[in-house]
Chain A
Amino acid sequence: DAKTTQPPSMDCAEGRAANLPCNHSTISGNEYVYWYRQIHSQGPQYIIHGLKNNETNEMASLIITEDRKSSTLILPHATLRDTAVYYCIPSGTYKYIFGTGTRLKVLA
């Protein structure tokens, strides 16, 4: 199972892009990169996932480096409701190994 490194906390001004990095240098070839977020007292919420191509959906964009050793989650226009803990999870099996994530605080 790949290990991940994420900054423990980040601040972002409301309306600006939030770029959350994740290092997963030991990721295996068959492991996708999943991103979830957890707002206080709720269960984790799926955001996006990818294998090696960049992905975009209505919530965010995911940029994965060519060597797949790191990725960046981009929230294009952060709002106060995006304040949460964000988890990057490489996974090729049925289970997730959550790290401690990045606590993103969006500032008004």
Chain B
Amino acid sequence: DAGVTQSPTHLIKTRGQQVTLRCSPKSGHDTVSWYQQALGQGPQFIFQYYEEEERQRGNFPDRFSGHQFPNYSSELNVNALLLGDSALYLCASSYGGQGDGYTFGSGTRLTVV
């Protein structure tokens, strides 16, 4: 049973560019959340998508946007990249809500130079 799949695993971008990260939820899950984890810190909640709508959002600027597709997969887009956006971006999926907990992917390591 495949868990949460994220792509790419690593990415290097230049300041000012735009990036798209992708996530396929665990089979049977319909809810996708995105987190940003800076080095040495705990993950920070960016937003959650359910039924193709953003259901809740954390304290992140509008440069961070997302999308959920009918097959429940999701994308995270970051515009006008800053050096401070360098982090591990984690996707987590669940059924309906947090319920019995989220399943996290292994993340995408984004480096902005």
Contact = CB atoms under 8 A, between A and B. Distances in A.
Contacts of B35: 96, 98
A25 interface: no
Contacts, number: 55
Given A100-B41, A101-B42, A95 B56 contact: yes
B48 A94 contact: yes
A44 B102 CA distance: 9
B42 A99 contact: yes
Interface stretch (B11-19, B63-71, B72-80, B103-111): B103-111
A63 B113 CA distance: 45
B56 A98 contact: no
B43 A98 contact: yes
B7 interface: no
A97 B56 CA distance: 13
Contacts of A42: 106-107
Nearest to B109: A41
Interface in A72-96: 87, 91, 93-96
B42 A43 contact: no
B42 A98 contact: yes
Interface of B: 4, 31, 33, 35, 41-45, 48, 55-56, 58, 90, 92, 97-98, 100-107
Q: Which 4 A-B pairs have the closest CB atoms?
A: A98-B42, A43-B104, A46-B101, A95-B45
10 contacts: A42-B107, A43-B92, A43-B104, A43-B107, A44-B92, A45-B104, A95-B33, A95-B48, A98-B44, A101-B42
